Amino acid sequence: MTLTRSLTAALVAGLLALGACTTPDPSVNLPEITFQHAPSLNLAVDRVEIVDVHKAPLAPPNVEHKMQTPPAKAMAIWGRDRLKAVGAAAGTVARLTIERAEVVETKLPRTQGIKGAFTTDQDARYDLEMSAMIEVFDPEGRRVGHAAARATRNQTVPEDVTLNDLNKMWFAMMEAALKDFDHEMETNMRRFLGNWMR
């Protein structure tokens, strides 16, 4: 009876310890994504619209829905902060369409046998892809210009990564990709939408 109680206590303690390892530390706060510090990209349109057509599967191997700021939300924030309508004929529209905004997890092979017991392997690779298009439509609804941008990033994590460290890695990876997206989109807007930029 005593042995049974001891084993039960040890099992409960082990499960509690395991739970503690996977619970994020509430004191770890990731910064908010913002582009309010960046100069606005002024467009001679009546209004700016943001449309998200990316459909998150909400299931493996996709993990973007687990992120504090998923890529689709980050691109929407980019659009809200950087794109500004500065007036034109009523009905003229600039539309930012978020086309792809995903992070896919791929499990990696582990070292087998005795060597595996002493090896910290890379557990998974995360591949991020984000893409969007800006289109300008005249008052009759005809598309009169467009520009697009795409950014990718990938990162592996070790098998002993904590949930907090995983969230930090996701954030850093997404932030780096978003900076690439920002640079490429501004460059392409100035190249292909120059007639509508002010």
β 93-107/122-137 pair status: antiparallel
| Assigned domain for 13 exists | no
| Assigned domain for 24 exists | no
CA distances from 49 to 89, 114, 177 (A): 16, 58, 22
What sign for the dihedral angle of Cα 132, 134, 139, 143?
negative
pLDDT digits (tens, 9 = 90+) for 4-31: 444 334 434 443 444 433 444 454 678 8
pLDDT of the chain, 198 residues: tens digit per residue: 443 444 334 434 443 444 433 444 454 678 888 898 899 999 999 999 999 999 999 999 999 999 999 999 999 999 999 999 998 778 999 999 999 999 999 998 876 756 555 556 678 999 999 999 999 999 999 999 999 999 999 999 998 889 999 999 999 999 999 999 999 999 999 999 999 999
| Assigned domain for 3 exists | no
| Assigned domain for 180 exists | yes
| Assigned domain for 81 exists | yes
CA distances from 98 to 54, 95, 135, 181 (A): 6, 10, 11, 12
What confidence score (pLDDT) does residue 111 get?
A: 63
The H-or-E segment that residue 62 falls in is none
Residues in a beta bridge with 95: 49, 135
What confidence score (pLDDT) does residue 8 get?
A: 39
**Torsion on CA atoms 45, 50, 54, 55, rounded to nearest 10:** -140
> Residue 113 has which token pair?
């046998």
**Domain range for residue 72?**
32-108+121-196
Of 45, 67, 51, which Cα lies nearest the Cα of 168?
67
| Assigned domain for 15 exists | no
| Assigned domain for 115 exists | no
Q: What is the pTM for the complete model shown? A: 0.80
Look at the chain and report how many structural domains it folds into.
Answer: 1
What confidence score (pLDDT) does residue 160 get?
A: 85
Q: The domain that contains 137 carries what CATH number?
A: 3.30.160
| Assigned domain for 17 exists | no
What confidence score (pLDDT) does residue 122 get?
A: 75
